[in-house]
Amino acid sequence: MLVSATEMINKAHEGHYAIGAFNINNLEWTKAILAAAEEAKSPVMLGVSEGAAKYMCGFKTVAAMVKEIHDAMGITVPVALHLDHGSYEGAKAAIEAGFTSVMFDGSHYAFEENLEKSKEMIALAHSKGLSIECEVGGIGGEEDGVISAGELADPEECKTIADLGVDFLAAGIGNIHGKYPANWAGLNFDRLEEIQNVTNGKPLVLHGGSGIPREQVQKAITLGVSKVNVNTECQLVFAEATRKYIEAGKDQEGKGYDPRKLLKPGADAITALCKEMMENFFGSAGKA
C-alpha cells in the first residue's frame, strides 16, 4: 500500500537524515526507483510533475500504474506517491486520483494568495489523510516548464505557512533546478538556520538536489532538511547509459533493439544512482 509521507519525513527529521524524492516519467523509472528503495531498505517518495503526469496520460493512470507496480514487485518499504510542484487545480486532481502526498506550489502568487490557497489545500489534503508540502520563495531555474528566478525565502513568510500545519516546507535557500552554473554562490546556511528556528523545527525540503556539492546537502540535512528532490541526475545517468549501449552497437546485436533490452542499461543506472544516494548521501538506507 502506498502511504502518506508524514511519518517517514518526521522520522527522518528526528534522525537527521533525509528521504529522497525521485521524479518518475514512466514504467521504467518507477520500477528502477522502487527497486533501489527495496534493495537499500529505504523509505522513498516518487515525485510526479504535472508535465510528467500529462505524459503518462493523467494522474489516474499514474496512480493506478504505481500502485500495481508497487504490489507486483512486492515492495515492503514505505513509498509515497507525491505530486511535485502542483498547481491549485493540479493538486486537487492528484488528491482525487489517489496520490498519497501532494505539493502545492503557490510560490509564484503574491504571498497573501499563496497563503490563502495553501491553507485550503492543507485542509483538503489532511481531510483525506495525505501529506502536503507548500513552497515559500521560488526555487530558481526551470523544471518541466515551471520557471522561477529564485530567491531566498522570507523567514516570517515561512513561519506563517508552517503555522498552518503544512507537513514539510520547501523554502528557497539559493538552490536551483537543473544544472548549477559555475558561478553559483552555494546554499545559504544562515537563512536555512533562521527558517528552521522560526518554524520551530518544521521538516524542510531541498529542491534542485542534482549537482549540489554533497557536503553542502549533508550540512543542510543536519540543519533541518528532511527531503531532497532529485530529477536531473536520474535523467543524466539514464541518457548516458542508453547512449553508451547504442554507441557500442548493442542495439544491433541479437535482439538488442528490443525495447526491454534497449531501456535496461538506463533503468539499471537509475537504480544504482538512487541506491547509492540512499546509502551514502541521504542516510535513509536501512530506515524502512
Instruction: State the binding site for dihydroxyacetone phosphate.
Output: 178, 208-210, 229-232
Give the interface segment with ligand G3H, choosing from 71-79, 91-99, 155-163, 228-236 (CB under 6 A).
Answer: 228-236
Asked whether position 105 contacts ligand G3H by CB under 6 A, the answer is no
Q: How far apart, in Å, are the Cα atoms of 58 and each of 31, 104, 133? A: 18, 17, 21
Exposed e or buried b per residue across 228-250, where buried means at least 16 C-beta atoms within 10 angstroms of its C-beta: bbbbbbbbebbeebbeebeeeee
Min separation Cβ 207 and ligand G3H, Å: 3
Range 254-283, binding ligand G3H (CB under 6 A) = none
Q: Is 25 in the site for ligand G3H (CB under 6 A)?
A: no
Considering only 68-76, 186-194, 204-212, 268-276, which stretch makes contact with ligand G3H by CB under 6 A?
204-212
Position 84 contacts ligand G3H (CB under 6 A): yes
| Beta carbon nearer to Zn ion, 228 or 288 | 228
Strands 141-143 and 146-148: antiparallel
Question: Could you tell me which stretch among 25-33, 116-124, 127-135, 223-231 binds ligand G3H (CB under 6 A)?
Answer: 223-231
Which residue, 35 or 103, is less far from Zn ion as judged by CB? 103
Q: Is 101 helix (H, G, I), strand (E, B) or coil?
A: strand
Segment 184 to 223, residues that bind Zn ion, using CB under 5 A: 207
Q: Does 84 participate in catalysis according to the annotation?
A: yes
Q: Which of 166, 46, 47, 60 is nearest to 117 (CA)?
A: 166
What is the rounded CA–CA span in Å between residue 209 and residue 207?
5
210 forms part of the interface with ligand G3H (CB under 6 A): yes
Residue 55 to residues 25, 26, 48, 152, 242: CA-CA distances in angstroms? 8, 8, 10, 32, 20
DSSP, res 284: -
Q: Which of 160, 229, 242, 271 binds ligand G3H (CB under 6 A)?
A: 229
Return the SS3 of 250. helix
Q: Is 107 in the site for ligand G3H (CB under 6 A)?
A: no
Bridge partner residues of 176 (DSSP) = 140
Catalytic center residues: 84
Q: Under the rule (CB under 5 A), what is the footprint of Zn ion?
A: 207, 229
Q: Under the rule (CB under 6 A), what is the footprint of ligand G3H?
A: 23, 47, 84-85, 143, 177-178, 207-210, 229-233
